[in-house]
Chains A and B, each alone.
Chain A
Amino acid sequence: MTITPSLTRSQQTAEEILEPTPMTKLRRRIFKNHSFLIGALILLVIIAIAVLAPFIAPHDPYDQDLARRLMNPFWHDKKTDALYALGTDKVGRDYLSRLIYGAQISLLIGFLTVLISGIIGTALGVIAGYFGGRVDMVVNFIINTRLAMPVFLVAMAAVVAFGASIHVVIMVLGLFLWDRFAVVMRSITMQARDLDYVTAARAIGCSTPYIIIREIFPNVLSSLTVVATVEMANAILLEAALSFLGFGVQAPTPSWGLMLNEGREYMFFSPWLLALPGTGLFLLVLSINLFGDGLRDVTLERER
């Protein structure tokens, strides 16, 4: 065997092969994660539809015209008026417009509920996790008390007491869906509290609020978003269920749950009255869940 003389030392040391920054790594993982991308795409489309509803809806969703009641959608027979692509409901309102505005209601309820419950749950959880001891005991007691109350029954009772409206639904759901936030935030904060860099922050004189907000909160943010997506899907389904039962959003507001209820009578003759809002709900919840799952995978820092 011949020996080639040694070449000049090309110093391919580890210093030159630089690890990507956390942001670059995150971006790379996002583009590798298909469920995240698909979920985000569908969700974005639904959000766009909801936001742009006044511009893209062909009709006023409240505009009744009994002469045009129960028109068939375009695939059913060719005689359908092109202006009512998805037909009309039992009082002659354009179904497409109602679906579009329904997305608004679902998303509004999802966002607001998660906002309220997220703030309550995160505050309780982070405080319990950071301070521990007595504070933790009290928060745990509150969580357990909350878990002992069935959301649905309380929601129905609240509707009976305060009257059914979108505000009541949002308040009730917001005040009741924070338990998971609190439990998850509490355990993550507990872990983060004992990390050396949190202790180091205390040692360099950071105040407790500063540590919680600047050192611990960024750590819990990804888990927070994941819980938020789960709860959002949950809230949207609960709203639909409440509205379906007549305890939620009231007619004539175009809520998908309410539309399911209204279409119930025509289930056998005009099945699309059920199928369309059902599909809307399905797509929205699916995309939120895909998005949440993907987000978890994307943000999950691999153990060294």
Chain B
Amino acid sequence: MIDKKEVVLEVKNLSIDIPVSQGVLHAVENINLHVGRGEILCVVGESGCGKSLTSLAIMGLLPKNAQRTAERLELNKKDLQELTERQLADIRGNRMAMIFQEPMTSLNPSFTIENQLLEPLLRHKELSKADARNQVIEMLELVGIKPAEPRLRQYPHQLSGGLRQRVMIAMSLLCNPDLIIADEPTTALDVTIQAQILELMMSLQEKFNTGILFITHDMGVVANIADRVAVMYAGQIVEEGPVSEIFNNPAHPYTRGLMGCIPVPGKVGQDNHLGTIPGMVPSVVNDFKSCRFGGRWDENYKENFKPCRLTEMPNSRRSYEVNLNEKHLVHFCCDECLHLSEHSLLEGSG
């Protein structure tokens, strides 16, 4: 259902290197992503896996010392890498918008809501101030801020966290962008507010047919909103596929481990232990030659593996991309990971 859709964002072989005191940190290594129009792609992973850097790289907002390389980085078939800073600024907030975790820090505390919402409209669209103001009011009402008029004169600190995030969503939608990048937009909110905000985002996304790249660490959020899921681990996407595939047939040991860690009522009884992933995320500094998942195998996965058909992934050292089916891709960083997961791959494809 998704393949037929127009691709809004296409990222191919994106890498981000950051110089640190001990050498070069390969924060993100050769990742591929795409987001279709009207599609929600959730990128999940634990802290430090590179998911936030990926979003900043797409926006062109990486810290100065970070190096971005990509074979392809296209928004609506337009190469973002060739654009000048000025052209990029025209696209940001217009064709693609970003929603951050903490709206208090992304809204300017010394301007009113009206000023901040008018700015992108006046900048990107040729509108009279009155027209722009009407659009702002309309959009605020759409995100559930009713009545909108009195809110226009308020400052960000006068709003609650939920309201601020609504304002951010309104701001990101004002120019009707093709792509919204949302970086943990509901993590700082209470559960009830989180549910409201997510529901709002989904209904608006449907209405405007926007593509959303949604970054989160919360599997509950992913299961509830995603069309497709990309699981990131130590700077790589280890598994990518439709949400039902990822949750029902996880193939990569990391994804499986992650699923086992979450307390799911009914699945894990109170008397049982939660699953764990042993070991720690390796540090990906300099030429990282060993397996990223080394030492993190759950003993259960080492048993009974059988041979399996593989497709080699070119352009990379000893790593494999396995197509379980057309949409479900699993990425292994080394032979051993691959061999050890064969039985789960068979389960998944069978």
Contact = CB atoms under 8 A, between A and B. Distances in A.
Direct chain A–B contact by Cβ atoms under 8 Å: yes
Interface residues of B, number: 19
Main secondary structure of the interface of A (DSSP, over half): loop
Interface in B286-306: 288-291, 294-295
A13 B335 contact: no
A10 B290 CA distance: 6
B295 A11 contact: yes
A169 B254 CA distance: 70
Contacts of B280: 13-15
Nearest to B281: A14
B29 to A, nearest CB: 15
B290 A3 contact: no
Contact of B295 (A3, A13, A17): A13
Interface in B264-298: 279-283, 285, 288-291, 294-295
Interface in B303-337: 312, 314, 318, 334-336
B282 to A, nearest CB: 5
Contacts of B314: 1
Contact of B282 (A3, A6, A7, A12): A12
Contact of A6 (B283, B295, B335): B335
Chain B interface SS verdict (over half): loop
A167 B289 CA distance: 69
B203 to A, nearest CB: 37
A17 B318 contact: no
B335 A11 contact: no
A5 interface: yes
B336 A9 contact: yes
Contacts of A5: 335
A207 interface: no
A10 B288 CA distance: 10
A11 B291 CA distance: 8
B63 to A, nearest CB: 14
A6 B294 CA distance: 12
Contacts of A10: 289-290, 294
Nearest to B295: A11
Interface string B219-248: 000000000000000000000000000000
Contacts of B282: 12-14
B336 A6 contact: yes
A19 to B, nearest CB: 10
Contacts of A24: none
A21 interface: no
18 contacts: A3-B312, A3-B318, A5-B335, A6-B291, A6-B334, A6-B335, A6-B336, A7-B290, A9-B294, A9-B295, A10-B290, A11-B290, A12-B289, A13-B295, A14-B281, A14-B283, A15-B280, A17-B285
Interface of B: 22, 279-283, 285, 288-291, 294-295, 312, 314, 318, 334-336
Interface of A: 1, 3-7, 9-15, 17
